[in-house]
Amino acid sequence: MKTGAGSSAPTHDLVFVPNTGFRSVHALGTRANAVVVQDGRRLTAAITPDRDGIRLHFTVTGIPMALETGWQRFEDPVGIHDDHGRDISTPRPRWQAGGSFQRASEGSATLNYTTLLHPLARDVQAVELELKGGPAGNWKVRIPVEPEGFTGAPAVPIDVSDTKHGITIAARTVARSDADTAIELEAYFDPPEPVDDPRPARRWVRGIGCSMGAAPMSGYPMRERLALRDDTGHEHTEQGQSFVDPLARKHREVVMFPALDATSAVLEIQDVWIGENTDQTVTVPVPGESDLRVVGCEARIVVSRAGERADTIRIDVTPLDADADRQLLYLDGLIVPGGDPRGTIGMSIVQCTGQPPYVQLPDPTAKVHEVTLHGPVVRVRGPWTLEIPLVLN
């Protein structure tokens, strides 16, 4: 385990904002959506600060467009400049600008587009968005921005890490207030893949300590609460919700504990969830039971029907070796015969506290006889132990 305390100076201009996470005190964003209507179309745009910059999202509704499959990739260029004429359209490393058309009604579609950009310069008062041609139409829209006015406990850098099974978990930042202790964690394969590698990641960390997101939502099960043992002998349970901010080639998350009267504490993380980018697929009968080996993990996959009318397919995965360091949790990609190869609408991942996750998908006709699974999610067992210096601001 690598341990060290960073400088007692705040990390750049970051503060911990309750219910939000770490943010820059100089962050700019939109207080209200920019809305423009023309030629029967409506464009709505917003700029939201995140941990490392801004998230620009816009939609265009009322597009006269027939979509045979209900979905189509958006490939037209999008110009993004600040009000000083500087081109700011380049996404942050490993983040691709992306949009798609989705069927809204017969003969009509909606464009959704999101990109993650670097922070805006402090002298910026507006961002100019431009689309030229294509089904979405021609647009030149001015999006006013202003300081968000984030305040909170200053962020202090620390340098603590532990590596197991080629995965490093590091504590990078801590912020303390009279109410909270916030610790920013990163988890990544060590060495990490280069951020400028245009190829999709071969594998990536999905969550720390079985955490799959910042809030309980469909497909993102929450974890058992983490525990922190301080140098006075007290143990503290993680409180509230965690905060996940995107980071190229790494998983980053802020975990919360009560205010502590201590100078150091030990955080122990029992496992990490990872995604594996593989072409491997498995086809299983509905209903049925199969023993399979997926990305080196041996597991039993049980497919059953649930619901009062047997109109839901449930897929449970049980590792054959409960003590293995790598255990298959589930496969989050599903293809049914005749279905959309990009995935199955309505598929969800369900997890209750203390129970393994399972996959379910609707089958209203109860006529599906087999499903093909891909996209394995694997639990890697630790523990990772981090001795956190609780430096004061």
- Residue 212 pLDDT: 53
Is the preceding peptide bond at 376 cis, omega within 30 degrees of 0?
Answer: no
CATH number at residue 92: 2.60.40
- Residue 216 pLDDT: 34
190 by Cβ neighbours in 10 Å (0-12 / 13-18 / 19+) ranks as middle
Give me the domain span that covers residue 369.
282-378
Q: How many residues does the chain have?
A: 393
Whether 233 and 319 map to the same domain: the answer is no
Whether 233 and 262 map to the same domain: the answer is yes
Q: Which residues contact 323 (CB under 8 A, 6 or more apart)?
A: none
| Per-residue pLDDT reduced to its tens digit, 328-357 | 999 988 887 765 544 456 788 887 767 788
Whether 157 and 172 map to the same domain: the answer is yes
Is the preceding peptide bond at 383 cis, omega within 30 degrees of 0?
Answer: yes
Domain-ending residue, one of 103, 124, 147? 147
- Residue 241 pLDDT: 76
Whether 48 and 122 map to the same domain: the answer is yes
- Residue 154 pLDDT: 95
Domain count across the chain = 3
Domain-ending residue, one of 147, 166, 185? 147
Whether 192 and 234 map to the same domain: the answer is yes
- Residue 339 pLDDT: 55
Report the C-alpha gap between 96 and 387 in whole angstroms: 36
* pTM of the predicted structure, to 2 decimals: 0.86
- Residue 283 pLDDT: 93
- Residue 12 pLDDT: 64
Whether 261 and 215 map to the same domain: the answer is yes
Write the DSSP assignment of 226-258 as a string of letters. PEEEETTS-EEE--S--EE--BTTBEEEEEEEE
Average pLDDT per run of 10 along the chain, which is 393 residues long?
52 86 96 95 97 96 90 93 97 83 92 96 98 93 97 94 97 94 94 77 86 41 79 92 81 93 95 92 94 96 89 94 95 74 67 82 86 93 95 65
- Residue 215 pLDDT: 37
